[in-house]
């Protein structure tokens, strides 16, 4: 580092001396020309004095016009010197700008002297980035070849930074050249004005005394040239001293010495930065994932998004591929966790709404394949098992499924459409199922104008008649979002259950379905989450089978006696 400092001092001293040499050359050329001019004017003045021996001057201090003329001569001399200095600086700056090597020396000198204020910070930043890129390029070349894409990209960035630095230097030099040129033009204009006044005074002197004026002119020209030569001599001496000694006054405040401890890496700082960045990245990924994945995954999320209670959580039934097996899960496998989940929905329905206010129960969902048909059949079975005389009405005119769930043997014309059209009596259209206390009013015919049918007075009157004959009427309807049938049905039914499927139902469609139901005045009892992920025994469902003597995990209870078992069964 100490060697670098010494090299820096020597380097910039050499650059400054090079610039001083250019100025010295211009001054010496001007000095030679002015010396010849001074000799010629002195010879002319002496010849004029010899040819006019009777020339006399007025007063002890000379003529007033002469005194004024002398003062203008002095002022003109100073203006000419200023013009010479400005021109020499302009010519040297112009020559430096045209030479790239001298331009870099000039910019570095201006940086040291403090004349590069406007863009020095930007240039230092570009220099620092250039050094970093060069170091990175050197590091990459230790690992890869020069034609590697990464090295090529770094070289392109290095060339771009060099071009930017060169453009900054060029703009700065051109700005300096414009400033110097302006100073030179101003000095020249000032000299022209003084010269004009000087010439006017000269004409006045000539009109007063032509001989005296001629002599005064010769003498003033000689004095002017002599003063200019003296000043040029002084400037040449100053430039010589500057070139010999050096224009930079650089002092080393503190010599470099080996560090007592390593400065990098700062472990605490980097660990803290890594923790903060890790937290920010993790939070950002979580937000992005939450933003991109709009599906509802848990009952808690369903309740928070929709603002309605979750009245039931039905686990996934992966083995039951047949609609009948899924739709009669409570009847075919009463000890399963799914059957117990449907019973919980029944409990929430019976305890949440008085019997007189929950005669007609509509089950719907935001979209298709979310499990509403399966919930209708299993919920109706649990109600029938609880002693409620129950009827399933398949009001999904667009995709009826209940006749397939219960495998009824009726004809294609037997069903809800025939009753509404008046071609069949209601008693003949209703079919009994294998479950005691459960009947079915199927819909085997698909209708294109289903919304007009469910919105008719005949359909509303039919529901009123069925509510008088049965304790509970469970209605299977189309989805809410695609068609308007469910909204019409919810407006005339006592309560409505909204069925959602975990990991399938989205927030947007679920909220749209809820708003559509509430918008028509539906009594939305709550939501049922289908296909919920299995949790521990303390999670969403336990699956205990008390009436069979088994736990939900298949372990058999201890037999406490036939009498106790009979009491529990009863």
Based on the fold, state whether residues 236 and 329 are members of the same structural domain: no
Q: Which of 399, 486, 402, 392 is nearest to 445 (CA)?
A: 399
Measured CA distances, 316 to 371, 507, 545 (Å):
10, 20, 18
Based on the fold, state whether residues 502 and 373 are members of the same structural domain: yes
The whole domain housing 368 covers: 299-534
Q: Is residue 550 situated within a structural domain?
A: no
Q: Is residue 265 situated within a structural domain?
A: no
Instruction: Please identify, among 181, 216, 245, the residue that sits at the C-terminal boundary of a domain.
Output: 245
Based on the fold, state whether residues 226 and 348 are members of the same structural domain: no
Q: Is residue 73 situated within a structural domain?
A: yes
Q: Which residues, other chains included, contact 414 with Cβ-Cβ below 8 Å and sequence gap of 6+?
A: 424, 428, 429, 431, 442, 444
Q: Which residues, other chains included, contact 551 with Cβ-Cβ below 8 Å and sequence gap of 6+?
A: 544, 545, 557
Beta-bridge partners for 361: 474, 495
Based on the fold, state whether residues 148 and 63 are members of the same structural domain: yes
Look at residue 570 and give its three-state secondary structure.
coil
Based on the fold, state whether residues 527 and 414 are members of the same structural domain: yes
Based on the fold, state whether residues 308 and 397 are members of the same structural domain: yes
Based on the fold, state whether residues 431 and 357 are members of the same structural domain: yes
pLDDT in tens, the chain (570 residues): 888 888 887 777 676 666 667 777 787 788 788 888 888 888 887 877 777 654 544 545 556 666 777 788 888 888 888 888 888 877 877 777 777 666 666 666 666 655 555 455 777 787 788 888 888 888 888 888 888 887 788 888 888 887 877 777 777 777 777 777 788 888 888 888 888 888 877 776 666 556 666 777 777 888 888 888 888 888 887 777 665 554 556 778 888 888 777 777 788 888 999 999 999 999 999 888 777 778 888 889 899 999 999 999 999 887 767 888 899 999 999 999 999 999 999 999 999 888 778 899 999 999 988 999 999 999 999 999 999 999 999 999 989 999 999 988 878 788 899 999 889 999 999 999 999 999 999 998 888 888 899 999 999 999 999 999 999 999 999 999 999 999 999 999 999 999 999 888 898 999 999 999 999 999 999 999 998 875 544 455 444 444 444 334 444 444 433 333 333 333
Q: Is residue 279 situated within a structural domain?
A: no
Phi, psi of 145 (to 5 degrees): -85, 170
Edge-first strand order for the sheet with 310-315 is 310-315, 524-532, 495-501, 360-364, 472-476, 390-394, 438-441, 431-432
Q: Is residue 293 situated within a structural domain?
A: no
DSSP state letters, 356-377: GG-SEEEEE-SSSSSSHHHHHH
User: What is the pLDDT, as a whole number, of residue 488?
Assistant: 95
Q: Is residue 267 situated within a structural domain?
A: no
Kindly give the residue spans of alpha helices, DSSP state H, lying in 99-119.
100-113
Beta-bridge partners for 315: 532
pLDDT tens digits, 248-275: 567 788 888 887 777 777 888 889 999 9
Q: Which of 308, 284, 285, 280 is nearest to 296 (CA)?
A: 308
Based on the fold, state whether residues 221 and 312 are members of the same structural domain: no
Instruction: Please identify, among 245, 263, 286, the residue that sits at the C-terminal boundary of a domain.
Output: 245
Q: Is residue 193 situated within a structural domain?
A: yes
pLDDT tens digits, 295-320: 888 889 899 999 999 999 999 887 76
Q: Is residue 252 situated within a structural domain?
A: no
Q: Which of 438, 307, 420 is nearest to 382 (CA)?
A: 438
Contact criterion met (CB below 8 Å) for 500 and 366? yes
- Give the count of alpha carbons within 13 A of 238, CB side only: 8
Q: Which residues, other chains included, contact 409 with Cβ-Cβ below 8 Å and sequence gap of 6+?
A: 431
CATH code of the domain covering residue 451: 3.40.50.300
Number of domains forming the structure of the chain: 2
Based on the fold, state whether residues 187 and 312 are members of the same structural domain: no
Look at residue 308 and give its three-state secondary structure.
coil
Predicted model pTM: 0.49
Neighbours of 541 (CB within 10 A): 19
Instruction: Please identify, among 245, 260, 279, the residue that sits at the C-terminal boundary of a domain.
Output: 245
Contact criterion met (CB below 8 Å) for 126 and 193? no
Give the distance, in angstroms, between the CA of residue 385 and the centroid of all CA atoms in the same chain: 60
Compute the distance between CA of residue 9 and CA of residue 309 in angstroms, rounded to an integer: 81
Angle of the 64-98 helix axis to the 149-208 helix axis, nearest 10:
160
Based on the fold, state whether residues 80 and 173 are members of the same structural domain: yes
Based on the fold, state whether residues 232 and 370 are members of the same structural domain: no
Based on the fold, state whether residues 189 and 336 are members of the same structural domain: no
């Amino acid at each position: 580092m100490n060697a670098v400092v010494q090299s820096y001092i020597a380097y910039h001293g050499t650059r400054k001396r090079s610039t001083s040499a250019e100025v010295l050359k211009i001054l010496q050329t001007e000095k030679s020309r002015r010396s010849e001019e001074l000799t010629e004017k002195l010879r002319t003045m002496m010849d004029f004095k010899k040819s006019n021996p009777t020339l006399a001057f007025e007063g002890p201090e000379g003529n007033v016009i002469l005194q004024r003329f002398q003062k203008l001569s002095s002022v003109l001399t100073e203006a000419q010197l200023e013009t010479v200095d400005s021109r020499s600086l302009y010519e040297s700056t112009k020559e430096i700008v045209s030479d790239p090597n001298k331009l870099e020396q000039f910019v570095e000198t201006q940086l040291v002297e403090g004349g590069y204020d406007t863009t020095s910070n930007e240039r230092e930043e570009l220099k620092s980035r250039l050094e970093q890129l060069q170091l990175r390029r050197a590091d990459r070349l230790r690992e890869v070849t020069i034609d590697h894409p990464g090295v090529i990209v770094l070289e392109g960035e290095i060339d771009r930074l060099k071009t930017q630095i060169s453009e900054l230097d060029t703009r700065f030099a051109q700005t300096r050249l414009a400033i110097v040129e302006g100073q030179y033009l101003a000095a020249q204009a000032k000299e022209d004005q003084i010269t004009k006044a000087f010439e006017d005074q000269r004409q006045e002197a000539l009109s007063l005394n032509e001989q005296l004026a001629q002599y005064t002119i010769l003498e003033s020209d000689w004095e002017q040239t002599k003063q200019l030569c003296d000043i040029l001599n002084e400037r040449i001496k100053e430039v010589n001293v500057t070139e010999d000694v050096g224009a930079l006054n650089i002092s080393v405040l503190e010599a470099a010495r080996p560090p007592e401890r390593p400065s990098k890496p700062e472990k605490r700082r980097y660990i803290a930065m890594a923790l903060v960045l890790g937290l920010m990245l993790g939070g950002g990924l979580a937000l992005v994932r939450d933003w991109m994945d709009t599906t509802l995954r848990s009952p808690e999320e369903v309740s928070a998004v929709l603002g309605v209670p979750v009245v039931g959580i039905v686990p996934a039934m992966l083995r039951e591929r047949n609609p009948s097996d899924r739709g009669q899960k409570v009847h075919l496998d009463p000890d399963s966790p799914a059957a117990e989940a449907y019973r919980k929905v029944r409990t929430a329905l019976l305890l949440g709404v008085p019997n007189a206010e929950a005669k007609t129960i509509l089950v719907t969902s935001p979209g298709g394949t979310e499990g509403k048909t399966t919930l209708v059949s299993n919920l109706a079975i649990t109600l029938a098992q609880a002693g409620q005389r129950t009827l399933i009405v398949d009001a999904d005119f667009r995709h009826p499924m209940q006749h397939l769930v219960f495998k009824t043997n009726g004809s294609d014309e037997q069903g809800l459409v025939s009753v509404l059209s008046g071609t069949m009596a209601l008693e003949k259209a209703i079919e009994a199922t294998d479950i005691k206390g459960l009947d079915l009013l199927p819909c085997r015919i698909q209708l294109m104008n289903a919304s007009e049918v469910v919105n008719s007075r005949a359909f509303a009157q039919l529901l009123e008649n069925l509510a008088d004959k049965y304790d509970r009427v469970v209605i299977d309807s189309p989805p809410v979002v695609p068609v308007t049938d469910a909204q019409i049905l919810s407006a005339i039914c006592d309560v409505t259950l909204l069925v959602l499927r975990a990991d399938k139902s989205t927030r947007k469609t679920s909220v749209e379905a809820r708003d559509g139901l509430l918008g028509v005045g539906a009594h939305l009892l709550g939501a049922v989450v289908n296909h919920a992920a299995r949790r521990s025994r303390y999670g969403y469902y336990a699956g205990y089978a008390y009436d069979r003597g088994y736990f939900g995990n298949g372990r058999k209870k201890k037999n406490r006696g036939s009498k106790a078992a009979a009491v529990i069964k009863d």
